[in-house]
Amino acid sequence: MTDQPDDPWVLAMKIGGLIERRRFDLARQHLATALKGFPEHPRLLYQAAYIDYITDRCEDARSTLAVLLKLDPEDADARELLARVLAEERQFAESERIWIALLRDHPQEPGYFGGYAHLMLKTMHLDKARRLANEGLRLAPEDHDCLFVAALCEVAQYGGGKDEVLIELLRQHPDSAASAAVLVVALQERGDFRGAHRVAQDLLRAQPDNAVYLGLVRELRAATHWSMWPLYPLQRWGWGASAAIWVLVIGILKTAERTVSPAAVNAIALVWIAYVLYSWVWPRVLRKLI
């Protein structure tokens, strides 16, 4: 930018075009030059923070937003971006505080309902996420974020209903797949393997050539197979459940030695050995079969 325009808004428009085309490195170079001439211009500062956020430089984005919000504490765009940055940094309470304040100041803005709903999705408050998304859809029936969250919540919780809506949104907005994948992992960690399986299936339908999603669907299909039901505690709580079951069985055997016949004790021990072998062998066999 050797012949830099005097109007910073002209610069911001050109940089905005680069951002839309996802040419972030070039946009960052232009911003560095523009900010030397206009270090406190709100749009240029916002664009610098946005590029840092979208390229996973959340700490830099937060620093730039601090400057911008010091100049104008009521800048709604900067506050919204800060809420998203804080969520990426897992500062969920602070992020939620900002979303609530934005909705209080702008109760008719569907985008804020969508953003807040995304946060609730990340923190596994699915009922609240769905209510927020539905309220946003009441204001703007075609809002992408609200449609996506509403469809994702329904598929995760109940299955069916909005599968086709979710698949179409994932096809039109591939970036949304990251949120869906995060939900799959969170549902797995919570022990809701069926919900995770439903969402993973829709991810694969939207991107059928994605090997990662294919592997995820196969893994979850095995986890939700009826023959895996006896292993649910181990799937849900891992080594903690294994240790607890061992302690329980040892306690049962000790008690049985004093109260029942040796044959009954042996039967209990054989059942336990069979369960241990089943937990080691069957999941591997089932994955291969699937």
Phi, psi dihedral angles at 139 (to 5 degrees): -85, -35
pLDDT truncated to tens, each residue of the chain (290 aa)?
445 556 888 888 999 999 999 899 999 999 999 999 899 999 999 999 999 999 999 999 999 999 999 999 999 999 999 999 999 999 999 999 999 999 999 999 999 999 999 999 889 899 999 999 999 999 999 888 899 999 888 888 877 667 788 888 888 777 778 888 888 888 887 778 888 888 888 888 888 888 888 888 888 887 887 777 777 776 666 667 677 777 777 777 778 777 878 787 778 778 878 777 777 777 777 777 76
Q: How far is CA 106 from each of CA 99, 129, 135, 279, rounded to the nearest angstrom?
A: 10, 18, 13, 54
| Rounded Cα–Cα distance for residues 74 and 82 (Å) | 12
Diameter of the chain by CA atoms?
Answer: 96
> Number of helices (H) and strands (E), helices first, in the chain?
16, 0
Q: Would you say 126 and 157 are in contact if contact means Cβ atoms under 8 Å apart? A: yes
Q: Quick one: tokens of 129?
A: 């996420």
Per-residue pLDDT, 271: 81
Per-residue pLDDT, 5: 55
Residue-wise pLDDT for 254-270, tens only, equals 787 778 787 877 787 78
| Rounded Cα–Cα distance for residues 47 and 165 (Å) | 31
Per-residue pLDDT, 66: 96
Looking at 3.40.50, 1.20.140, 1.10.3470, 1.25.40, the CATH number of the domain 108-225 comes to: 1.25.40
Looking at 3.65.10.10, 1.10.357.10, 3.40.50.1820, 1.25.40.10, the CATH number of the domain 1-107 comes to: 1.25.40.10
58 Cβ neighbours under 8 A, 6+ residues apart: 52, 85, 88, 89
Per-residue pLDDT, 120: 94
Q: How far is CA 185 from each of CA 21, 172, 212, rounded to the nearest angstrom?
A: 30, 22, 13
Per-residue pLDDT, 248: 76
User: Three-class SS of residue 218?
Assistant: helix
Residue-wise pLDDT for 37-73, tens only, equals 899 999 999 999 999 999 999 999 999 999 999 999 9
Residue-wise pLDDT for 119-134, tens only, equals 998 898 999 999 999 9
| Rounded Cα–Cα distance for residues 186 and 121 (Å) | 10
Backbone region of residue 191 per phi and psi (left: phi > 0; alpha: psi in -120 to 50; beta: other values): left
